[in-house]
Amino acid sequence: MTDADFHQTIRRIRARHWLHYLVQALLMGGLVLVGGSRSATGLDPQPQLASWPLLLLLGALLPLLGILLYVMARRMQPNLRRPAEQNLRVYQSQVFLRDSLLSLLALPLLISYVFTRAPLDLVSSGVLLGALAYLTLPSAKTYQRWLLS
Q: What is the pTM of this model?
A: 0.81
Domain count, the chain: 1
What gap in Å lies between CA 41 and CA 81, rounded to an integer? 57
Residues 64-80 have a mean pLDDT of 85
Residues 86-97 have a mean pLDDT of 93
State the residue range of the domain holding 9: 3-148
Long-range contacts of residues 115-124, Cβ cutoff 8 Å, at least 24 apart: 115/36, 115/40, 115/48, 122/29
Per-residue pLDDT tens for 22-57? 999 999 988 887 876 665 544 455 555 556 677 677
* CB proximity list for 17: less than 8 A, separation 6 or greater: 95, 99, 133, 136, 137, 138
User: Tell me, what's the pLDDT at 51?
Assistant: 61
